[in-house]
Structure 1
Amino acid sequence: MINITRLWTGQAQPADNLRYGQGHGSAANSRARKPIVVWNITRTCNLRCVHCYSDSMAQQYPGELKWDQMQDVVKDLADYQVPSLLLSGGEPLIHPRFFELVDYATELGLKLTISTNGTLITPEKAARLKEANVAYVGISLDGIGAIHDEFRGKKGAFDAAVKGFRNCEDVGQKTGLRMTLTRHNVANIERILDFIEEQGIQRTCFYHLVPAGRGSELQVLDPAESRHAIDTIIKRVEYWQATNQNREVLTVTQPADGAYLLHRMEQENHPNLKQARQLLKWNGGGANSSGRAVSNIDTQGNVHPDQFWQDVQLGNVKKMPFSSIWDGKNPLSAPILDEIRSIGDLSTEQRQTLMHGRCASCKWFSTCGGGFRTRAAFANGDLWGSDPACYLTDEEIGAEVANMEKEF
């Protein structure tokens, strides 16, 4: 994640210890972090979103974890001391034992986040989430009104999601908005930011599209669209700071956003440039993300480097605890995990000599880490290709200079 509010304004944010090594509970370095675990507890969903990486529908799927297996997973994650557990789906609230799972996880001390479409959050369910000490509820919106309904495949989905958000707000449950940037909504991003302000939403995560599942049918934004989105977000973050509106804005699945922020800061002689550069370098971007700081358990119990990288299976929690799998004790997947992590374990210079494409000569490589590695692997068929969604120009990444030096 790139915390635009933190980097651009310098204002401290709740998870600085995880992302940038700042504050209480920080890891010694970014490679030493335990993973945030994204757990898809069910594939069943009441909507049919066009970008769904799990290709979920309103039906039952065989092979999902039984209750005793789910309890074992929670106990293991608590003992392993993961910094955060994110329950996702499908639609997690559909799971028949959802609230039992929530209660059990929070009782064992896990910091719990819920990723939901929001349509099933009644006032009673919002109150239960609050009572269970859920740290955060992220509700997905992908446009305003009919745009969101089209994206989610159901008329009325927008109004139902907004009601879910308000129900959480009414009981004091910390809640925010999650949005995937696509061509369905990026042209209307000003209106989306207006909505965030009008509704008093305090935290927003903008995801860059990862073409997986049904999302593989969508096109990643072109460079001009990506730049427009990030420039518009930065401008609004500046305004919110100037008007004393405390609002956290993050972008997800695109470490190149950090490089772009640094580029703009250099051009504008930004007062937070030095600090932003230090924070992003500590984080490491894509080099220390999937397979290290982020992990996934799918509905069948399979463990993956992240929730999008479903074709790489590291083990299964029905057969071996997540902690053992993540520590490389599964002999069948340990080489794969070692290869993924080698992107971060090698020095910056060593990593970059192995890269091909634009990342091989990018001057931002030490802070970006080569973009989102999962998307790069999809596009290139190997771990060492460049992220096709990078939107910086050759001049901005220093590629033109590097190419000229090669010619001479």
Structure 2
Amino acid sequence: MFRISQFMRDLANAERTGAYPAASHRKPPGPVVIWNLIRRCNLTCKHCYALSADHDYAGELSTDEVFTVMDDLKAFHVPVLILSGGEPLMRPDIHAIAERAKAMRFYVGLSTNGTLVDDAEADRIAALGLDYVGISLDGLRDTHDKFRRLDGAFDRSLAAVRLLHARGVKVGLRFTMTALNAHDLPALLQLMRDEQVDKFYFSHLNYAGRGNIHRGKDAQHLATRDALDMLYARAWAAAQEGRDEDYVTGNNDADGPYLLQWVATHLPALHARFGDAMAEHLRAWGGNASGVNVANIDNLGNVHPDTMWWHHTLGNVRERPFSALWTDLSDPLLAGLKQHPRPVQGRCAGCRHLAICNGNTRVRAQQVTGNPWAEDPGCYLTDEEIGVAGGDMRVVTTPFSARQTLAQIPVVEAS
């Protein structure tokens, strides 16, 4: 996750005080764990990485098994649990799981589509004291309902935002941009402000589940840059005005280098004074964290480098503890993800910003080329901007084909 607002606040504070804060290279004690506790969902969204549907899935972890895993996660110093699905509110024990997680002093987030949140459910969520609830909106009413394949989904999700906000719950909007909904981004940002929503999470499309099937409709690079320009300008204005709004992005770590470039273009005087310090902060952030500071456990207990790697399993928590799986570098993908620098190839290997983006999102490279270390086709920076020689053909994001041949993941030496 790239926290735009934090960088903008630091810059705005430096403008006022004349001093940019020192970068901290302290790493979190353990990975953030995104936990898909249930695969069932009342929606069938076009970009769902879990390919969820409204029926039960056999073999999901029991309540006791979830609690056992939580004990291991706590001992392994995992700081954050994001409870997700499917639709997590369809799991009967979700409140008991969330309550125990809070009692164990995890930071606990809930990722929901919001359609099941009525007054009673909003009361229950508020009583749990969750740190954050993210609700997905893919656009305004018509666009969102088409993405979610349910008439009325937008109205129900927006109602959930209002119900939770009224109870003092920190709420964020989650938006995944494709070529089919990019036009609604300005209106959603205005909706965020009108509804006094705390956070806006902008997700680039990643190629997993239905998101991979529909990757041919991914937003093109120029549209991506336009969207980031809008987000950066809004976050900068909010930082200058002292607004309590958070803007973050995910699933494309080129956003870090692009922020530095945006500041150089739009705030040249500040870039001249503080650009080097901001670049050091960006290197401390470290870019893509899959397999390092972000982990995933699915509904069956399988562990993955992140939520987009469901087609690559590191093991199952019923057989080995998460802590053992996460530190076992016999898996070549996990070893490569943890290696620093990563063994990326192509234009990523020669990129001047590799220390900032960490090779960007490896799953897009793997899904398109079969090679997880190839260039990320989702990188929207030009060859000139990243400092590599031009003239070579870029990897092109082709429409999904089920008849793919995936290359064997090469073994790399872990540093």
Bucket of the pairwise TM-score, normalised by the shorter protein: 0.7 to 0.9
Give runs of aligned pairs for residues 8-407 of structure 1, distance below 5 A: 8-10=8-10, 29-30=26-27, 33-218=29-214, 219-267=217-265, 268-269=267-268, 271=270, 272-286=274-288, 289-328=289-328, 333-342=330-339, 344=340, 346=341, 351=342, 354-400=343-389
Whole-Å separation in 2 of the counterparts to 1:137 and 1:61: 25
TM-score where L is the length of structure 1 = 0.87
Structure with greater helix percent:
1
Deviates most, 319-328 or 333-342: 333-342
Amino acid at match of 1:269: P
Decide whether the 8 Å contact of 2:9 with 2:240 is kept in 1. Answer: no
Deviation at 1:33, TM superposition (A): 4.3
The 1:314/1:199 distance shift into structure 2, 3 A limit, reads: same
**Is the contact made by 1:44 and 1:91 (CA closer than 8 Å) also made in structure 2?**
yes
Q: Which residue of 2 aligns with 1:406?
A: none
How many equivalent pairs are there?
A: 379
Q: Structure 1's 175 and 270: CA in aligned 2 closer, same or farther, altered over 3 A?
A: farther
Q: Distance in 2 between matches of 1:185 and 1:239?
A: 24
Paired letter, 1:81: H
Aligned-residue RMSD, C-alpha: 2.2
Distance 1:375 1:22, change over 3 A: farther
8 Å Cα contact 1:340/1:383 also seen in 2 = no
CA offsets, 1:296-349, max 9 Å, x none?
0001100000011112111101111111211228xxx5444223212x2x4xxx
Q: Would the alpha carbon gap of residues 6 and 184 (structure 1) be closer, same or farther in structure 2, given more than 3 Å must change? A: same
- Secondary structure in 1 matching 2:247: strand
Q: Is the 8 A contact 1:53 1:212 kept in 2?
A: yes
Preserved CA contact (<8 Å) 2:22 2:277? no
Please, which runs of 5 or more residues in structure 1 have no aligned partner? 14-20, 404-408
Q: Deviations over 1:52-108 (max 9, x none)?
A: 000101101111111211111122112222110001000000001111111111112
Percentage of identical aligned residues: 37
Distance 1:207 1:400, change over 3 A: same
CA distance in structure 2 between the aligned counterparts of 1:358 and 1:338, rounded to whole angstroms: 21
Q: For residue 85 of structure 1, give the secondary structure of its aligned residue in structure 2.
A: strand
Q: TM-score, normalised by structure 2?
A: 0.86
Letter in 2 for 1:374: V
Q: How far apart, in 2, do the equivalents of 1:238 and 1:285 lie?
A: 21
Q: Would you say the 8 A contact 2:41–2:90 is kept in 1? A: yes
